[in-house]
Structure formats: structure tokens, C-alpha cells
Amino acid sequence: MVMSEMETGLDRARAIYQDRTRRARELKAEGKQVIGYFDIYPVLEMLTALDLVPYRILGDMNEPITKADACLPTVVCPFIRSVMDLGLKGRYDFLDGVVMAHGCEVAEKTAHIWRTYLNPAYAHFIDTPHTTHTAALEQHKELLKDFKKTLEAFAGKELTLEKLRQAIEVHNEQRLLVRELYDLRKPDPPLISGTETLQVLVALASLPVTEGNELLRQVIRQAHERRDGPRIQPARLLLWGSIIDNTAIIDLIESLGANVVMDDTSLGSRAYFPLVEQTGDPLDGLANRYLVALKSPRTFRETVLTKTKRKDYLADLENRFSYLKDYAQEWKVNGVILEVLRYCDIHGYEVPGLKDYLDHIDLPSIYLEHDYSQAALAQLRTRVQAFLEVIG
């Protein structure tokens, strides 16, 4: 019996979370082609439109890094080092190809290293620009045209406008379902825990989009019906920062008397909340969504006051972070955890400014840095405990 017929809803999400390559291997055995990707910048609709299965490449906190040292130094993002290590150990040997983007600098460099050491049959790198300048948006569209060319050559068929529109629709559907999933976290107590949410998100990143949508529907239904969901806790937290693909950190926080009710990380809301607008040329909508609408600190945004021609610090912070204030209000958050992986520059530089902003809106916050290992997380326990006492 294949995995898809075994479990449903949260059980299925947990099973996929625990063995996330299994379904992809099954699909591969059925003759599907599976394309791996890093981060949230590869334009997945274009894969789906060609009937290729997008599969997000993640790390494994429980697997000691033994092989990646040969090609990545120790002073780079430990998540990426884990990803590379798994690649070298064959964890992703079922992939038919990879598509990488310029999500952050280390991800960009690792795209070249991955290609050098793993020599995938298909590889494409999208050099996502860093700003939302008009020229950058035009460049991004050109980059998507380049991507389309190599993808069509690999798939041996044309990526038609109609197929692309359909793919956008089904991905947008997933994004709306993820919103519904997140709505489950608004009540007190939330109908789904932070840990369960992450399991669902990891599962989504491991399944074809239509299967992911089905899973989301099951989970949403189940969460409404069940009686054994999370309990009320004094702290309702928002988790902001570097990627979290392992439930350990959320388990730790939730075991100390808190509900993690919202996040802004690249496996969570950040990856799903913005929709793609259906535009005359679908590439316009896609280029805009992946460059402008996605809110990640890797894309530079800036506020200059028209009158004084100077930058106003608070106005700039408001421009960059006000969506977090909205999240905090909607999800009734009373504390924020700023979680940064060591050597993650993209998030590291945000910390003092974001703390200033959260202070400004009277939201207590704590900064936690770790190196993507269980041992490092254990050391954070007392700090989290102290923080929860303050806000509780």
C-alpha cells in the first residue's frame, strides 16, 4: 500500500514529516520527475505546469555533518551545511534535477557547489534581484523567461500559458488553504499547535501541490472536529527569523507553557501568504509575486521621506515590519521570539532594528541564536523560560 492511502490529516502530515522522502520516491517509482529546490524564490508554478513535482530540499538537525566539511566551511549557515551534507550522503538521490535561486548569498554559492559535487541531470539558477526597483522587476521577468527555456528543454514539452495559469490557480489555492490553516491558530486555545503546523508545512514542501491541498483540507476539517487540541497558555507567541524545519525548537517553547500561534519564517507564512495575481502574461504576476510581494529581509526596501529627502528610522521600520504588527493583532500575540541561525546574515542584521520596532509597539521580544543542533537548543531553555515568565 502506498503512503497516500495509509493515513489522513495530521497523522499523514506527521508521517511525511518523519519520512519526507518516501512519498517523493513513490512518485518517482510511478514515473514522475521530481525537482528539488532551495528556499522560497524558485518559481514553483513553472514546475507544476510541466507536471514536474517540486520538492523542497531541507536539512536534518539530527544528522551530524560529516561530509559537507569537504566543500563548505564551518562559518556558513548550518542549515545549508546540513542540506549539502544530506546531498552528499545521497538523501536526495531521487531528484531528477534542481532549481536554485538567489535567496541569500550562501544559498546562491551552495547552488554552484551542489552542481559541482552532485552533478544533477538538470540544474537551473535564478538570479533573483535584491531590490524592488523597476529595472529589477523587469530583470526578474527576463530571468523567468530563461528558466522557462531550460525547463522546457528538460521536460521536452512546451510550457503553455494555459498550463501556467492553471498551475498558478492551484498554487494560489494552496496559499489560501494555508491561510485557513493559520486561521486555526487565532482562537484561544488555538485549534492546532505550532508543532503540528510545522509538520503540515514540512509535508506540503514534500508533496505535489494537489496532494498538499488535499492534506490541508483534511487537516483543517480534523482540527475543527477534534477535542484534544492545544490548551490555553499564558503566552501566545510569534516566531520570526531563519528557517525552522524541525519541530524541536517549537516543542521546546510549547513545552514551557506557550502556544506558538504565528510565524514569519521561510517554511511558514512567509512562503505562502502572498498570492500570485493572474495577469495577461502570467510571467508578470509571477515576477512580481516572487520579487515584490514576498516579504523576506533578503529583499531590500527603503523609505525616504519626500519632504525632507531624509530617511526616517521609525517610518522605515514601519514600512519593513508593520505586517508583523498586523499578525500580532490578528493572532493576539503577546510575545515575539527572534530566532536566528548562527551565520545567517540576512536575519542577523534585522535584529536590533526589529527589536526597536517591537519595543515601539510594546511587544516584548527575545533574541535566540543557535547553530541548528539539538544540543544548542537545549541551552536556550532557561532563556525561553525567563522570557515566558516576563510576558506571562
Q: How far apart are CA 359 and CA 156, in angstroms?
A: 54
Q: Which stretch binds other proteins (CB under 8 A): 4-12, 105-113, 268-276, 322-330?
A: 105-113
Q: What is the smallest separation between the CB atom of 280 and other proteins, expressed in angstroms?
A: 20
Q: Sheet containing 97-101: which strands, arranged edge to edge?
A: 52-56, 33-37, 97-101, 122-126
Residue with cell 547552488: 111
Q: Which of 237, 297, 333, 391 binds other proteins (CB under 8 A)?
A: 297
Q: Which helix (H) or strand (E) holds 36?
A: strand 33-37
Site for other proteins in 142-181 (CB under 8 A): 142, 146, 149-150
Closest CA to 155 of 140, 167, 139: 167
User: Assign residue 257 a region: left if phi > 0, alpha if psi is -120 to 50, beta otherwise?
Assistant: left
134, interface contact from ligand SF4, other proteins, none, CB < 5-8 Å by kind = other proteins
Counted residue by residue, the chain has a size of 392
Whether residue 369 contacts residue 225, with contact meaning beta carbons closer than 8 Å, is answered with: no
Closest to other proteins by CB, 123 or 261:
123
71, interface contact from ligand SF4, other proteins, none, CB < 5-8 Å by kind = other proteins
79, interface contact from other proteins, ligand SF4, none, CB < 5-8 Å by kind = ligand SF4
Q: Which stretch binds other proteins (CB under 8 A): 33-41, 98-106, 166-174, 237-245?
A: 98-106
Q: Which helix (H) or strand (E) holds 239?
A: strand 235-241
Site for other proteins in 60-89 (CB under 8 A): 69-73, 75-76
Neighbours of 235 (CB within 10 A): 24
Q: What is the smallest separation between the CB atom of 174 and ligand SF4, expressed in angstroms?
A: 22
321, interface contact from ligand SF4, other proteins, none, CB < 5-8 Å by kind = none
Q: Which of 64, 234, 352, 392 binds other proteins (CB under 8 A)?
A: 352
Q: Considering the rule CB under 8 A, would residue 133 count as an interface residue with other proteins? A: yes
Q: How far apart are CA 36 and CA 55, in angstroms?
A: 5
Amino acid, res. 65? I
Neighbours of 367 (CB within 10 A): 17
312, interface contact from other proteins, ligand SF4, none, CB < 5-8 Å by kind = other proteins
Q: What is the smallest separation between the CB atom of 248 and other proteins, expressed in angstroms?
A: 21
Q: Which stretch binds other proteins (CB under 8 A): 48-56, 228-236, 270-278, 309-317?
A: 309-317
Q: What are phi and psi of 259, to 5 degrees?
A: -110, 125
Whether residue 253 contacts residue 337, with contact meaning beta carbons closer than 8 Å, is answered with: yes
Applying CB under 8 A, which residues contact other proteins? 69-73, 75-76, 102, 104-106, 108-109, 111-113, 115-116, 123-125, 127, 129-131, 133-136, 138-139, 142, 146, 149-150, 297-298, 300, 302, 304, 309-313, 316-317, 340, 342-343, 345-346, 348-353, 355-356, 367, 369
